[in-house]
């Protein structure tokens, strides 16, 4: 599966315990998203387009309105990086 660099970065953050906070407008549509790391830092370069691609590929999921997290399919798709070991 082709995963862009920004999508890969977001998946690494999510695999290490991060989450995607989303806000909805008046309708059920998501209007803004923020990718937050485990330490509380905000991931730069993450926007609604990257979020939509991750969701369309089913690499992230939300259950019962909670923040979006990485799915099992996302964990299998993320490439291992030596500098992203979470220690």
31-77 confidence digits (pLDDT tens): 999 999 999 999 999 999 999 999 999 999 998 888 999 999 998 88
Q: Tell me, rounded to whole angstroms, the distance of Cα 87 from its chain centroid.
A: 20
The pLDDT of residue 8 is above 60: yes
Separation of alpha carbons 9 and 25, rounded Å: 27
- The residues facing 14 across adjacent strands are none
Two structure tokens written together for 80: 């291992």
Domains of the chain by residue range = 5-75
* Lookup: tokens for 79: 């490439």
pLDDT of residue 27: 87
Q: What is the pTM of this model?
A: 0.85
Is the model's pLDDT at 28 over the cut of 70? yes
Torsion of CA 72, 73, 79, 85, to 10 degrees: -10
Place of tokens 């998203």: 33
């Amino acid at each position: 599966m082709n995963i862009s660099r920004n999508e890969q970065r977001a998946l690494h953050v999510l695999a290490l315990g991060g989450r995607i906070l989303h806000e909805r407008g008046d309708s059920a549509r998501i209007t803004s998203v923020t990718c937050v790391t485990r330490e509380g830092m905000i991931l730069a370069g993450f926007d609604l387009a990257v979020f939509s691609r991750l969701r369309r590929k089913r690499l992230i999921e939300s259950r019962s309105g909670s923040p979006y997290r990485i799915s099992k399919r996302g964990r299998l798709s993320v490439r291992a990086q030596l500098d992203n070991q979470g220690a």
